[in-house]
Chain A
Amino acid sequence: MIDITKLLENSKGLDGWRMTEKATASYELFFVHKQLETVRATDTVDTSVTVYVDHDGKKGDSTFAVFQSMTKADAEKKIATAAARARLVFNEPYALPDADTLNAELPTNMKDADPKTLGRRIADAVFAADTVEGGSINACEIFLYRDTLRVRNSRGVDKTQRLWRVMIEAIPTYTTEKESVELYEDHRFTFFDPAKVTAEIAARMREVRDRSLAVKPAPMTVNVLLRPLEIYLLLCDLADDLHYATVYSHANLHKVGDDLQEGGDGDKLTFSLKSVLAGCERSTYFDADGCALRDTCLVRDGVVADNFGSSRYGQYLGVKEPSGELPFCVSAAPGTLRKEEAEKEPYLECASLSGLQVDLYNDYIGGEIRLAYYFDGEKRIPVTGISMSARLSEVLAHLRLSDSVCLDGAYEGPDRLLMRGVSVL
């Protein structure tokens, strides 16, 4: 492949550049029931270049892709086109990150594993959970990735990190004479623990059996318990509103100092975005600009404490030390809700939602429930075929967070969040 950086250095009229290369090698297994339908492998590189042109007191930029197939003439033409495009763009000036270097690996225990052997071991761990009578794993896709990410810029940034990650998509299914039901489950990790994979999928197998027994309850207003995935999604939606770019474009609902739980009597919410979370595939040491990342507490005791985002938008907002474009690795503080306290009154614990809908603008939170457990004060009854909805502001004001915590994918924090008085139909 041609040396793009040399061409960029020799191009006239550029005031800076950034180049991002992501090389990915993958090994992928696709099972239909317990049989292997397709085996895939990939060996690809994504390269993108951004050029910067300072003009008329403003800064223009334009990004283009570089393909392996390109000739020197192709690349020179792309650079010239991007430079011309950058001159059409009149953005407020900002500084590119200063020189900094890094060559690092994100923590993993899969670095030295042969992909074919590791793929088989992961498949064994998945199907070891297929032990529930009447149950089966009707489909399973296993993706093993090795990513090498390198970011360079014209000011001397040169950072590389390597990441080994796995994604498993498994479909636990339970079939009776009357019907067949399924749940969707995906697992993403950078540390392979076969026992953990088997245990998590086995738990899902038991839940899908419960789904086959689930009944549709009468409409009710009830306390609802969210599990880690949905807590994570809720916090991500709150975080999204606090991005520097959202603030800069006047699209943010909340600003620093706003009390998200005004008038509330629940646990106070405190959560941060972190650059690295143990075992999380979103972890990264630097962002797309090559900037080091600063873990940032966005909400402390229910009050918006900070914003986050890229160096460029941080500079626009006058932030002295922008956080960098943090990944959505969410760390939340535990609350005070004990299991015994939650069980003092009936609740609905959501085990599987088709998706949590959070709309900050319309003060809404809700979703279609595929499997939940209704605790009536004495026993847990599996329920399905219902949806829930509530005012987000009321949920936030009165929420309770468990005192027990978990580490689950891109989330660490309380393993249950209780929403009071949710309408279930």
Chain B
Amino acid sequence: MPFSSYLNGKRADCKALVESLSKHFRYVSILGTDVSATVIRADRKSSAVQEGRGECGFVIKMHDGRSFFEYSLDDISGDKETLAARIAEAVRTDESLAGKMISTAALKDEPLSQDYARETDFSRYSDAQLLDICKELSGALLAKDEHVLNAICMIQPYTVSKLFITRNRELSQHYGWANGFLVAVYSDGKLVQARHVEGDDQLSRVIDGLKAHTDSVIDLAKHLTTATPIEPGIYDVITDSSITGLIAHEAFGHGVEMDQFVKDRALAKHFVGRYVASPIANMHDGAAAAHSVASYFFDDDGVLAHDTRIIRDGILEAGLSDLASAAQLGTEPTGNGRRDSYKRKAYARMTNTFFEPGSDKLEDMIASVKHGYMLFETNNGMEDPKNWQIQCTAEYGIEIVDGKLTDHYVSPVVMSGSVPELLKSISMVSDSFKVIGAGMCGKGYKEWVRVSDGGPNLKVRVKLG
């Protein structure tokens, strides 16, 4: 599918509105978004083919030489002088707050004109074909075992078109991503749900991945019915890529979002250039750092995608910034300015966040554990950038005894403790690497954006409950 014809048709309107607003503000940018999503789903009793969460609208960012202003609207048609006056009035403050506005340096507006695109294979599949695949996979799961109460297969492709315009800059980007989910609701003395997730910008690979995992989903469900609570304690733990990503994301990623530096909300601000992790730990974030769900070409502030090395050999090297936080800190933005949608503010956000692979073999890592657990599948996590405490939940773990994985499953498993203690405990890093892009990340309890995370297997020592 090509770049949004609607946004293409709005280029002139955007430029005219930038000119009109420039009479009120020193810097003006307009981000136009046209995002379409489709949800195809089948389970035992029902099915759906419909649009998912999309958006189409504009957000205007303005800077008056001191502070930031934004206005979100659905359409920019009509007389631009009138619209500009309406916008300027809408973002005006009560007089008593005017003296409290922050003061930052003027924003740069370096010339660049570029159109970016990454092709998908979405147009090769009709709605009917995708629904048939979902029905087939749901049916396959149901047929595998009489204990399967329900089986859900869902495929969610979405495409993004974004247009960014300032006086000196005109950028467009177009790309897509698709996720696929298999879920088995299974009961054999205990009711459990087992799932498998795929993500790629080619639907063919998502579908192949789902088809290849019907047996493993049922096998996992069977094991989860036997899972017991874990005995709380401190253990040697091997992480799968998903849990490695969860650690990267929750333990440290949120803590280096530099809008938190501005607010003195992140301890990491004081640790740049210092050891924060084991010397064998290396961590990155960036839309250009990996090919996954957050691999855009420019961010929602019009800053080109970066590959930011956050931790090099255990030392904190750099953080992630949006335009506003970089302006306040006097640094260069890193292409991490992201919005929940055109209706929401841009914040410094993660993109694809991961640890670099190392040189250890997974089997050697498992063999090195006398008694511990291998943890699998992210459930959720919560960050605490100020105080470096974490809480991450894995869907399940498998006990390791005398260097061997057993048949003893535990679920759920909550990993908690101090971030530096956890990162400094990394003692082995596998040579494998996987980034998983099916998740959404909030800032606090809102502002949801699509992110990926992952990396190799890690051996850590951590508190499990």
Residues of A participating in the B interface, judged by any CB pair closer than 8 Å: 24, 27-30, 32-45, 50, 61-65, 67-69, 82, 84-86, 88-92, 116-117, 119-120, 123, 138-139, 169, 171, 173, 179-182, 184, 186, 248-251, 253, 354-355, 357, 359, 361-364, 366-368, 370, 385, 387-389, 391, 423, 425
Confirm or deny: B363 has a beta carbon within 8 angstroms of a beta carbon on chain A.
no
How many whole Å from A127's CB to the nearest CB in chain B?
Answer: 10
Asked whether, in the complex, the Cβ of B343 is within 8 Å of the Cβ of A44, the reply is yes
Contact of A89 among B48, B73, B384 (CB under 8 A): B48
Residues of B participating in the A interface, judged by any CB pair closer than 8 Å: 6, 43-51, 54, 56-57, 67-75, 87, 90-94, 96-97, 100-102, 127-128, 131, 149-150, 152, 185, 190-193, 227, 229, 232-233, 262-265, 267, 324, 328, 343, 345, 380, 382, 384, 386-387, 389-391, 393, 411-412, 414, 416, 418, 444-446, 463, 465
Enumerate chain B residues within 8 angstroms of A366, measured Cβ to Cβ.
Answer: 414, 465
Q: Which residue from chain B places its CB closest to the CB of A245 in the assembled complex?
A: B46
**Known contacts A123-B97, A249-B44, A45 near B393 by CB under 8 Å:** no
Asked whether, in the complex, the Cβ of A387 is within 8 Å of the Cβ of B412, the reply is no
Asked whether, in the complex, the Cβ of A251 is within 8 Å of the Cβ of B386, the reply is no
How many whole Å from A258's CB to the nearest CB in chain B?
Answer: 13
**Known contacts A249-B150, A250-B44, A36 near B465 by CB under 8 Å:** no
**Known contacts A40-B72, A88-B49, A364-B229, A387 near B102 by CB under 8 Å:** no
Enumerate chain B residues within 8 angstroms of A182, measured Cβ to Cβ.
Answer: 265, 386-387
Listed A/B pairs (28) with beta-carbon separation below 8 Å = A30-B345, A32-B328, A37-B324, A38-B68, A39-B93, A41-B72, A41-B91, A43-B90, A50-B50, A62-B48, A64-B50, A68-B74, A69-B74, A88-B131, A89-B47, A91-B45, A119-B97, A138-B263, A181-B386, A249-B43, A250-B150, A355-B380, A355-B391, A357-B380, A357-B412, A361-B191, A385-B418, A387-B391
**Known contacts A249-B44, A391-B229, A41 near B263 by CB under 8 Å:** no
How many whole Å from B77's CB to the nearest CB in chain A?
Answer: 8
Q: Which residue from chain B places its CB closest to the CB of A45 in the assembled complex?
A: B74
Asked whether, in the complex, the Cβ of A42 is within 8 Å of the Cβ of B6, the reply is no
Enumerate chain B residues within 8 angstroms of A30, measured Cβ to Cβ.
Answer: 345
Expressed in whole angstroms, the Cα–Cα distance for A42 and B59 within the complex equals 9
**Known contacts A41-B90, A85-B49, A389 near B465 by CB under 8 Å:** yes
Closest 9 CB pairs of A and B: A368-B391, A68-B74, A120-B94, A250-B149, A41-B90, A42-B72, A354-B382, A67-B56, A85-B49
Enumerate chain B residues within 8 angstroms of A33, measured Cβ to Cβ.
Answer: 263-264
How many whole Å from B45's CB to the nearest CB in chain A?
Answer: 7
**Known contacts A38-B68, A169-B444, A184-B444, A251 near B51 by CB under 8 Å:** no
Enumerate chain B residues within 8 angstroms of A181, measured Cβ to Cβ.
Answer: 386-387
Contact of A171 among B102, B233, B263, B414 (CB under 8 A): B263
Enumerate chain A residues within 8 angstroms of B446, measured Cβ to Cβ.
Answer: 169
How many whole Å from B30's CB to the nearest CB in chain A?
Answer: 14
Enumerate chain A residues within 8 angstroms of B265, measured Cβ to Cβ.
Answer: 138-139, 171, 173, 182
Asked whether, in the complex, the Cβ of B68 is within 8 Å of the Cβ of A387, the reply is no
Enumerate chain A residues within 8 angstroms of B444, measured Cβ to Cβ.
Answer: 169, 184, 186
How many whole Å from A192's CB to the nearest CB in chain B?
Answer: 15
Asked whether, in the complex, the Cβ of A42 is within 8 Å of the Cβ of B71, the reply is yes
Contact of A39 among B91, B185, B414 (CB under 8 A): B91
How many whole Å from B133's CB to the nearest CB in chain A?
Answer: 12
How many whole Å from A79's CB to the nearest CB in chain B?
Answer: 12
Expressed in whole angstroms, the Cα–Cα distance for A50 and B49 within the complex equals 11
Asked whether, in the complex, the Cβ of A359 is within 8 Å of the Cβ of B127, the reply is no
Asked whether, in the complex, the Cβ of A139 is within 8 Å of the Cβ of B263, the reply is yes
Asked whether, in the complex, the Cβ of B411 is within 8 Å of the Cβ of A39, the reply is no
Enumerate chain B residues within 8 angstroms of A387, measured Cβ to Cβ.
Answer: 391, 414, 416, 463, 465
Asked whether, in the complex, the Cβ of B465 is within 8 Å of the Cβ of A38, the reply is no
Asked whether, in the complex, the Cβ of B47 is within 8 Å of the Cβ of A90, the reply is yes
Asked whether, in the complex, the Cβ of A36 is within 8 Å of the Cβ of B101, the reply is yes
Enumerate chain B residues within 8 angstroms of A36, measured Cβ to Cβ.
Answer: 67, 93, 97, 100-102
Contact of A88 among B128, B343, B412 (CB under 8 A): B128
Q: Which residue from chain A places its CB closest to the CB of B130 in the assembled complex?
A: A88
How many whole Å from A310's CB to the nearest CB in chain B?
Answer: 13
Enumerate chain A residues within 8 angstroms of B150, measured Cβ to Cβ.
Answer: 249-251
Q: Which residue from chain A places its CB closest to the CB of B347 in the assembled complex?
A: A30
Expressed in whole angstroms, the Cα–Cα distance for A38 and B72 within the complex equals 13
Contact of A41 among B48, B71, B100, B131 (CB under 8 A): B71
Q: Which residue from chain A places its CB closest to the CB of B265 in the assembled complex?
A: A138
Expressed in whole angstroms, the Cα–Cα distance for A53 and B127 within the complex equals 16
Enumerate chain B residues within 8 angstroms of A67, measured Cβ to Cβ.
Answer: 56-57, 74
How many whole Å from B214's CB to the nearest CB in chain A?
Answer: 19
Enumerate chain B residues within 8 angstroms of A86, measured Cβ to Cβ.
Answer: 49
Q: Which residue from chain A places its CB closest to the CB of B263 in the assembled complex?
A: A139
Enumerate chain B residues within 8 angstroms of A32, measured Cβ to Cβ.
Answer: 102, 262-263, 328
Enumerate chain B residues within 8 angstroms of A39, measured Cβ to Cβ.
Answer: 67-70, 91-93
Enumerate chain A residues within 8 angstroms of B49, measured Cβ to Cβ.
Answer: 62, 85-86, 88-89
Q: Which residue from chain A places its CB closest to the CB of B37 in the assembled complex?
A: A65
Asked whether, in the complex, the Cβ of A91 is within 8 Å of the Cβ of B93, the reply is no
Asked whether, in the complex, the Cβ of A180 is within 8 Å of the Cβ of B264, the reply is yes
Asked whether, in the complex, the Cβ of A425 is within 8 Å of the Cβ of B232, the reply is yes
How many whole Å from B4's CB to the nearest CB in chain A?
Answer: 10
Enumerate chain A residues within 8 angstroms of B46, measured Cβ to Cβ.
Answer: 89, 91-92, 249
How many whole Å from A247's CB to the nearest CB in chain B?
Answer: 11
Expressed in whole angstroms, the Cα–Cα distance for A84 and B45 within the complex equals 20
How many whole Å from B14's CB to the nearest CB in chain A?
Answer: 13
Asked whether, in the complex, the Cβ of B127 is within 8 Å of the Cβ of A85, the reply is yes
- Residue in A38, A90, A354 with the greatest tally of chain B CB atoms within 10 Å: A38
Asked whether, in the complex, the Cβ of A91 is within 8 Å of the Cβ of B50, the reply is no
How many whole Å from A361's CB to the nearest CB in chain B?
Answer: 6
Enumerate chain B residues within 8 angstroms of A62, measured Cβ to Cβ.
Answer: 48-51
Enumerate chain A residues within 8 angstroms of B380, measured Cβ to Cβ.
Answer: 355, 357
Expressed in whole angstroms, the Cα–Cα distance for A65 and B38 within the complex equals 11
Asked whether, in the complex, the Cβ of A38 is within 8 Å of the Cβ of B67, the reply is yes
Asked whether, in the complex, the Cβ of A35 is within 8 Å of the Cβ of B45, the reply is no
- Besides A69-B6, A88-B127, A249-B185, 7 new A-B residue pairs in contact (Cβ under 8 A), listed by A number: A63-B50, A89-B47, A91-B46, A91-B47, A361-B192, A366-B414, A368-B416
Contact of A40 among B6, B91, B387 (CB under 8 A): B91
Enumerate chain B residues within 8 angstroms of A355, measured Cβ to Cβ.
Answer: 380, 382, 391
